[in-house]
Structure 1
Amino acid sequence: MGEHYFAERPETASRRGTVDLVLPDLHLRLATDRGMFSPDRIDPGTRILLETVPPPPPDGDLLDLGCGYGPIALTMATRAPRARVYGVDVNIRALELGQVNAQAAGLDNVRFIRPGEIDPDVRFAALWSNPPIRIGKAALHDLLTTWLDRLSPGATAHLVVQKHLGSDSLHRWLDQHDWPTERIASRSAYRVLAVTARPPRDPAGPDDGGLPGRPHREETP
């Protein structure tokens, strides 16, 4: 597993490069480096997500979870210039390049920051992500629980996941944990899932053990 999944400061020696993100509505040349996700090309899953996802809300707070050097966050910022976009990652090298890429693209409505730097009261009007599936099922579920529970009421998250890496089981897990989920696209063994914010919990409902954001049920797909 690449260190970019967990390392704040990758030990891999730096070797800068560039990739081109070309979509029908934009063309961005992005700086990349070793020690981060897909530095040599735009990942196919990311491209499929950006080619199939509906337009983001025109304003509000938008989130790219696991942003890397920024292709998803920068696309959101381009398509929703009045919105505030957050690119979140643990990898400092990737976050620094994301900010470099935002400046090069003239986008001042996007920030690249670590998870703990976002105001905990912020709620997101949309979340787009090519999530880090390879961190393992338990860690992935914890990650998604944390951030999906910060969607605004009625907001939608769009996730792209490879079929052979568990897109269908993730779809079932999301449904089982009260996030209504629909597959909106399927291409080249990738699935794009639209996940709706789950309704507020009944305060008189089952005890969740005092762990905010934890699902009540513990089914494993």
Structure 2
Amino acid sequence: MGDHYFSASPSVASRRGSVRLHTSGADLTLATDTGVFSHTRLDRGTKVLLDAAPMPPVRGPLLDVGCGYGPIALTLAARRRRLPVWAVDLNERALGLTRENADAAGLGNVIACRPEDVPGDVTFAGIYSNPPIRSGKAALHELLLRWLPRLMPGGRAYLVVAKNLGSDSLARWLSDEQGFPATRLVSEKGYRVLEVAPAS
């Protein structure tokens, strides 16, 4: 697969569609397109994350890492309309869809941008992600080490990872090697949701 959803500018021809998002706090129809992660349906891991992950124990900005067309970011924004929700992705097509979907839903608290456009002084009460495991371990570790240090004191990150794609080894790496305490919040439908606390 030469052109993947984590390409900055997908070369695959556009073929738009839509996905129904129905979860606690959000009932929306989202525009999707080829070249974006899980463009034909709501990914099962994302659904498990949205159903299981709570709002963080402290109040502050929220972050969706690898936002795709926006199901996580829009759900968070609908649940907490007074909080800014940052949605970051390398994929420009995905960012355009997230902005379009936020506008259509009347969610003016969503800020969709490339990672480098998030101001360096912004910290987050909650970070949510269905991370791109298939981008490789090195890229995944780099991604997590970019954002997890930006958790506010008392904040939490929630990551959904398929059990057969290394969720347990990722939790050990976070806890034992990087100092970010990671615990299994839920295990469902072949996925595990990890809750990650700031490094002590």
User: How high is the TM-score relative to the length of structure 2?
Assistant: 0.96
SS at match of 2:94: helix
1:193 corresponds to:
194
Q: What residue is the counterpart of 1:214 in the other structure?
A: none
- Whether 1:28 aligns to 2:28 is yes
What per-residue deviation string (whole Å, max 9, x for no partner) do you get for residues 56-115 of structure 1? 468521100000000000011011111100000000011001000001110000111000
Partner SS for 1:47: helix
Matched, 1:51 2:51: yes
Q: Supply the distance in 2 between the matched residues of 1:106 and 1:126 (Cα, whole angstroms).
A: 22
Q: Please give the alpha-carbon distance, in whole angstroms, between the structure 2 residues aligned to 1:153 and 1:24.
A: 26
Superposed counterparts of 1:20-169, under 5 Å: 20-56=20-56, 59-169=59-169
**Residue 9 of structure 1: how far off its partner (Å):** 1.1
Give the conservation status (yes or no) of the 8 Å contact 2:57–2:156. Answer: no
Give the superposed CA RMSD. Answer: 1.2
Whole-Å Cα distance in 2 between the matches of residues 57 and 43 of structure 1?
26
Distance in 1, Cα, partners of 2:154 & 2:60: 13
The alpha-carbon deviation at position 26 of structure 1 amounts to: 2.0
Partner of 1:170: 170
- Counterpart residue type for residue 74 of structure 1: L
* Structure 2: gaps of 5 or more residues: none
Deviation of residue 198 (structure 1)?
Answer: 0.6
Higher mean alpha-carbon deviation, 176-185 vs 51-60, is at 51-60
8 Å CA contact 1:56–1:76 kept in 2: the answer is no
Equivalent residues of 2:56, 2:155 under 8 A apart: no
Q: 1:153-196, CA deviations, whole angstroms, 9 ceiling, x for partnerless residues? A: 12100000001111010011011111011101000110000000
- Where does structure 1 lack aligned partners over 5 or more consecutive residues? 200-221
The residue that corresponds to 1:207 in the other structure is none
Letter in 1 for 2:186: A
After TM superposition, give the deviation of residue 15 of structure 1 in Å: 0.3
Deviation of 1:8 (Å): 1.4
Structure 1 pair 58/96, CA: closer, same or farther in 2 (3 Å)? farther
Contact 2:19 2:42 in 1 (8 A): yes
Q: Tell me if the contact between 1:149 and 1:197 (Cα under 8 Å) persists in the aligned partners.
A: yes
Q: Computing the radius of gyration over CA atoms, which structure comes out larger, 1 or 2?
A: 1
Question: Does residue 3 in structure 1 map to residue 8 in structure 2?
Answer: no
Number of aligned positions between the proteins: 198
Greater RCO between the two (CA within 8 Å, min separation 6)? 2
